[in-house]
Amino acid sequence: MITLALAGKPNCGKSTLYRAATMAHADIQNYPFTTIDANFGIAYVRVPCACRDLGLSCGSCTSGIRYIPINLIDVAGLVPDAHAGKGLGNQFLDNLRQADAIINVIDASGGTDLEGNPTEIGANDPLEEIDLVRNEMAMWLFGIIGKHWPKMQRQAQQRSYSLESGLAEILAGLAISEQDILDAEHSSKVSLKGAGEEELLIFSRELLRISKPIIVAGNKTDIASKDSVTRLSQNNVRLVSGAAELALRQAASAEFISYNPGDTAFLIPEPDKLSLAQKKGLDAIATYMKEHEGTGVQAVLNHAVFDLLQMIVVYPVEDENQYMDKRGRILPDAFLIKKGSNPHDLAFMVHSDIGAGFLYAVNARTKMRIKESYELQNGDIIRIVSTAK
């Protein structure tokens, strides 16, 4: 399953954003290091369900909206020099090794300093937080590589030893592959053979960019100044309000409103059931959503998965004529798979035995057999034929 991590300085609203996205409990307080241990939960990306294209009702979507689960981690806050042990130090950085991509949460309101201490709204520059996360992660990665580098250089004098494959073994626990290393070496124009500290730091920054892509989310946008919001937008920061999303999900859970995560508006079926304070709060959220086309929480999750990680959605079925599995369920599963994958890759995702016994695949939309080399497209419905049952 895809794993995203929420990273940022303390008190930037990560835990509120995490709770809004997962509806899991997370301690939310207005002081640094509220989160000591990482929170692990399930969030969802949102796509139009393929059943509507087919004129069917699958029973696995909500009004034609398909929500596909992903892992979400809310890690402890990051402060300057965390890689050297300041704050919670490497506890933060170590939790990021599991992430496929990182959502760098910054305080769009400018109401907290780099240490996470509350200040007046607008007293700090949110853009400074972007370099904080990137720099600390790069220095952390640089430290791991540097620890092993002298020994690796000695081993590199042997013709049979590859620095790239050796480094891949060391970084395997960070989900960094040898191909990531080769790509970083090429794009950074750094040759690992004979590289010194300066070259290794450049290489580490590039390897981080490739292996742990980052999207920046400006949280607390609902209390930020218009000038700050405009500036953040001009710097490719995704605008979100975790507090607004959390309030909407809680109101929907209590059946005060009708709202699907990712909608740009909500409905109040029975306004008379709401108190004046509730109406005022919902009115403020409605105004914010109209200005920003929603709370931004679902949009940032979708952007991370589909744009940053280049994933697509594919539906495996066992009956290509009825679009069902063997239990008669219509489109019961929706898989996130890397763009450029083929049917054999999908077979292994369904089950390792099915992948090992793969024979061929059928495109359920066209009823045509497709080649193993066929590049899967977003929304494909695929029947896998395998020797495995």
Among 186-195, 290-299, 365-374, where is mean pLDDT lowest? 186-195
The whole-chain average pLDDT of the chain stands at 87
- pTM of the model as a whole: 0.87
Contact yes or no for 247/135 (Cβ under 8 A): no
Measured CA to CA, the distance from residue 108 to residue 223 in angstroms comes to 8
Determine the average pLDDT of the residues in 360-368. 94
Strongest mean pLDDT among 97-101, 162-166, 176-180: 176-180
Beta strands across the sheet bearing 101-107 = 39-48, 65-74, 3-7, 101-107, 214-219, 238-239
Confidence of residue 113 (pLDDT cuts 50, 70, 90): confident
Measured CA to CA, the distance from residue 120 to residue 135 in angstroms comes to 26
Confidence at residue 157, expressed as pLDDT on a 0 to 100 scale: 76
Domain 313-386 has CATH 2.60.40.420: no
Q: And the tokens for 42? A: 């399930």
pLDDT digits (tens, 9 = 90+) for 236-257: 999 999 999 999 999 999 999 9
Determine the average pLDDT of the residues in 170-188. 88
pLDDT digits (tens, 9 = 90+) for 341-363: 999 999 999 999 988 999 999 99
Contacts 24+ apart (CB under 8 A), 178-183: 180/207, 180/210, 180/211, 181/207, 183/210
Confidence at residue 89, expressed as pLDDT on a 0 to 100 scale: 46
Q: Are strands 3-7 and 65-74 parallel, antiparallel or unpaired?
A: parallel
Measured CA to CA, the distance from residue 260 to residue 266 in angstroms comes to 8
For the chain, domain boundaries: 3-38+75-134+214-302, 151-204, 313-386
What is the CATH architecture of 3-38+75-134+214-302?
Answer: 3-Layer(aba) Sandwich (3.40)
Contact yes or no for 6/106 (Cβ under 8 A): no
